[in-house]
Chain A
Amino acid sequence: MAELKLFRTSSSPFVLRVVWALDLKGIQYDNIFEDLSNKSSLLLQYNPIYKKVPVLVHNGKPLLESLVILEYIDEIWKQTPILPEDPSERATARFWAKFGDDKVLPSIWNAFIKQGKDQEEAIVTAQENLGCVERQLTGKKFFNGETIGLVDLAFGWLANLLSVFEEVCGVTLIDHEKFPLLLEWIQNFADAPIIKESWPPRDKLITRYQALHEVHTSKEAPK
């Protein structure tokens, strides 16, 4: 049997994508939990450039960068495909996954760590980006259609972290009026079998992000 190891933390958005992809395809693997404040020598050996998780090691060969890992998984294990077959649909999926990482995530993170006027502006940007995402869900249960795909996995962090961010910093980023489809998607994704089995416990996320919020907001001078 092929040897598959996943270097991970319990709830990193990037790690969870890989966990969900492997679980959706019913692939067996060993979990190696990393303490990011004390990284193992194996992790540093497998990912010397970024020194980050996730790292998927398949038969001794390391795969890095979560979206690259997802494409690899989909190419090796053909059951339950996460990318469509049609090349233009594949390109569209890759586009939105990248948009999520390049624009949505940083803008929501900014809204989370900023204060005062900076935060107000950050929220506007985050909501503009979320508006683009909302429109992609028109007429669909998941970004991939009837089943979960690459874009759903790429945005999975939104489903478990958005409400955590909102609670920790006391702002509302998405509401039922402006983002009905996104809120519905969040519910559908969180309820999906397999996905919910690896759902990070909310109380742990609150604790973690509360601590992160304090660290970041004590650095930033309020305006």
Chain B
Amino acid sequence: MAEDSVKLLGNWVSPYSLKVKWALKLKGIQYQYVEEDLQNKSPMLLQYNPVYKKIPVLVHDDKPLAESLIILEYIDEVWKQNPLLPIDPYERAKARFWAKFVDDKCVPALMAAFTKKGEEQERAVKEAHENLKILESGLEGKRFFGGETIGFVDIAAGWIGCSVQMTGEIIGINLIDAETMPLLHSWFQDFLEIPLIKECLPPQDKLLEYIKELHTKILTAAST
């Protein structure tokens, strides 16, 4: 399919646009990437996603699609190679459930652990641990959520491993440790080993700097 017909509006730090990059790469889809400056959003982005004004936006044959998990499902329906979702409807429902669990439960707790201090942070860390432990149960002892190969949930959740490692360094708390979460820990290691996953990651040292700066800004804003 011609590169012109698929465009991804994203941002280099965003895990949400990373998920879409991973899906496109997994399926071998050629696309044009447009880096959005989130402090200065392009008229194109505002036109394509007037409701949320956010990235990622996938534009296919001039039709814009927003919301990363919805984009993943669309990609899976249009391009059938290397399927993300399982064939069996019950397994598909489980995959959708876990992807939603990541966004609804894991992400907010991780954000709070990163942005809060003191007792609030302690509570957030506890909640993040609990939710990650629950997520681990979704692996059902498999290597990946998708089984022997990565699928929908791996792509939906994999970025958390990267994020947790970095934010863990900054806040000094290890959120996915090998002792309490052995399966999740090794899942994440295996996920990162996959070449296409690694290839799409933003430069890690640059990202770490960015997140450190962000953390300082957040804590400063919170104390003023």
Q: Which residues of A contact B (CB under 8 A)?
A: 49, 58, 61, 63-65, 68-69, 71-72, 75-76, 87-88, 90-92, 94-95, 98-99, 132
Do A95 and B70 touch across chains, with their CB atoms under 8 A apart? Answer: yes
- In the complex, B33 has a CB within 8 A of chain A: no
Do A87 and B101 touch across chains, with their CB atoms under 8 A apart? Answer: no
A58→B78 CA distance, assembly (Å) = 29
State how many angstroms separate the Cβ of B99 from the closest Cβ of chain A: 9
State how many angstroms separate the Cβ of A210 from the closest Cβ of chain B: 29
Which of A75, A91, A94 has the most CB atoms of chain B within a 10 A radius of its CB? A91
Do A61 and B90 touch across chains, with their CB atoms under 8 A apart? Answer: yes
Of the residues B65, B89, B101, B134, contact of A91 by C-beta under 8 Å: B65
Q: Which 10 A-B pairs have the closest CB atoms?
A: A87-B77, A75-B89, A91-B74, A72-B93, A68-B96, A94-B70, A88-B63, A91-B65, A87-B78, A91-B70
Do A98 and B93 touch across chains, with their CB atoms under 8 A apart? Answer: no
- B contacts with A, residue count (CB < 8 A): 21
- In the complex, B217 has a CB within 8 A of chain A: no
A49→B67 CA distance, assembly (Å) = 24
A64: chain B residues within 8 A (beta carbon):
97
A99→B50 CA distance, assembly (Å) = 13
State how many angstroms separate the Cβ of B86 from the closest Cβ of chain A: 11
B74: chain A residues within 8 A (beta carbon):
87-88, 90-91
Do A69 and B93 touch across chains, with their CB atoms under 8 A apart? Answer: yes
Of the residues B67, B89, B100, contact of A95 by C-beta under 8 Å: B67
State how many angstroms separate the Cβ of A185 from the closest Cβ of chain B: 18
- In the complex, B92 has a CB within 8 A of chain A: yes
State how many angstroms separate the Cβ of A91 from the closest Cβ of chain B: 4
Given contacts A91-B74, A94-B70, A95-B67, contact A49 B93 (CB under 8 A): no
A-B residue pairs in contact (CB < 8 Å), sample of 20: A49-B134, A61-B90, A65-B96, A65-B100, A68-B96, A71-B92, A71-B93, A72-B89, A72-B90, A72-B92, A72-B93, A75-B89, A87-B77, A88-B60, A90-B73, A91-B70, A94-B73, A95-B65, A98-B67, A132-B51
Give B99-136 interface residues, CB cut-off 8 Å to A.
100-101, 134
A75: chain B residues within 8 A (beta carbon):
89, 92
Q: A63-B93, A75-B92, A88-B65 are in contact. List 19 more A-B contacts (CB 8 A).
A: A58-B90, A64-B97, A65-B100, A68-B100, A71-B92, A71-B96, A72-B90, A72-B93, A75-B89, A87-B77, A88-B60, A88-B63, A88-B74, A90-B73, A91-B70, A91-B73, A94-B70, A98-B70, A132-B51
- In the complex, B71 has a CB within 8 A of chain A: yes
Looking across the interface, which residue of chain A has its beta carbon closest to that of B77?
Answer: A87
Looking across the interface, which residue of chain B has its beta carbon closest to that of A61?
Answer: B90
Do A68 and B67 touch across chains, with their CB atoms under 8 A apart? Answer: no
Looking across the interface, which residue of chain B has its beta carbon closest to that of A89?
Answer: B63
State how many angstroms separate the Cβ of A207 from the closest Cβ of chain B: 30
- In the complex, B66 has a CB within 8 A of chain A: yes
A99: chain B residues within 8 A (beta carbon):
51
Give B66-95 interface residues, CB cut-off 8 Å to A.
66-67, 70-71, 73-74, 77-78, 89-90, 92-93
State how many angstroms separate the Cβ of A46 from the closest Cβ of chain B: 12
B66: chain A residues within 8 A (beta carbon):
95
B96: chain A residues within 8 A (beta carbon):
65, 68, 71
Which of B66, B67, B97 has the most CB atoms of chain A within a 10 A radius of its CB? B97
A132→B53 CA distance, assembly (Å) = 13
B63: chain A residues within 8 A (beta carbon):
88
A171→B178 CA distance, assembly (Å) = 54
Which of B73, B89, B93 has the most CB atoms of chain A within a 10 A radius of its CB? B93
Looking across the interface, which residue of chain B has its beta carbon closest to that of A76?
Answer: B89
State how many angstroms separate the Cβ of A136 from the closest Cβ of chain B: 10
A132: chain B residues within 8 A (beta carbon):
51
A88→B60 CA distance, assembly (Å) = 9
Looking across the interface, which residue of chain B has its beta carbon closest to that of A85?
Answer: B77
A87: chain B residues within 8 A (beta carbon):
74, 77-78
A98→B92 CA distance, assembly (Å) = 18
Given contacts A94-B70, A95-B70, contact A65 B97 (CB under 8 A): yes
